[in-house]
Amino acid sequence: MRFKDKVAIATGAASGMGLLASQRFAEEGARVVLTDVDRDAVTAAAEAIREKGGEAVGIEVDVRRYEQVKAAVALAVERYGAVDILLNCAGGCSSRVWGRSEPFHRLDIEVVEWGMDVNFKGPIYFCHAVLGQMIEQHSGVIINMGSVDGVTGSMSLDYGASKTGMIGLTRSLALYGAPHGIRACCVSPGPVLTRPEMAKMKTRLGRAAEPQEIVDLILYLCSDKAAFITGANYVIDGGRSVGGM
């Protein structure tokens, strides 16, 4: 029960690693606020956690809308009295999400804007919304989800640039939060089996990661055993970023 009575907010929590991390937080005693743009899926995910004895609430949040972000944080504080953990997990490659195959320079600018807003502005919005509460309670952990593409670069320019930005955001958060007992870390996965096609991406270890492997790292970084870790980017990519693939 590493997170007994802790309060965690997770974005992109209706599926994938956001959902799995939320389930694990709840299993280990946390009270979890799940947020996602898919209202039906996120409320069902929270209900499933409650049915297993956990404490959770699901709320529809579009991370591009600051008023919705702020409302989710206010709900967490009103209901549970604190925000101990923020997991910025919402994101995605814009061309894949929009079903587009054109090269970057031929994409409609709306597609590019979606990628920048969801992958970078959304996490900044959530950080802005939680920092006041974390400073007041003199504690907190923020985990930003990066990507190996943020380390190596990517042909999906807005995605790669946004994920590189998550590393810079994490370093700045570490500087900003340290005097107030707030830590920040970035987790940058390589291919993860949240979608079958990820198995086709090459790594030095010859496979994609299981989602649980990424979530295990996230939970460790949020725990008291990582109390001296802040500002770092953790690449967990099976050696993909080593190069020569």
Tokens of 183: 């830590």
| Alpha-carbon separation of residue 176 from 10, 121, 153, 202, 209 (angstroms) | 21, 18, 27, 37, 32
Backbone Cα Rg of the chain? 17
Active-site annotation holder among 80, 125, 159, 234: 159
Partnered with residue 132 across adjacent β-strands are none
C-alpha 84 chain-centroid distance: 15
Give the up-direction half-sphere exposure of residue 93: CA atoms within 13 A in the CB hemisphere.
18
Q: Which amino acid is at 92?
A: G
Contact 69, 63 (CB under 8 A): yes
Beta strands 7-10 and 182-189: pairing type?
unpaired
Tell the residue number behind the tokens 């007994």, with chain if given. Answer: 4
Kindly report the backbone phi and psi dihedral angles of residue 98, in degrees, each rounded to the nearest multiple of 5, phi listed first: -90, -5
- Whether 125 is catalytic is no
| Alpha-carbon separation of residue 124 from 10, 107, 135, 189, 229 (angstroms) | 14, 25, 16, 20, 21
Active site positions, annotated: 159
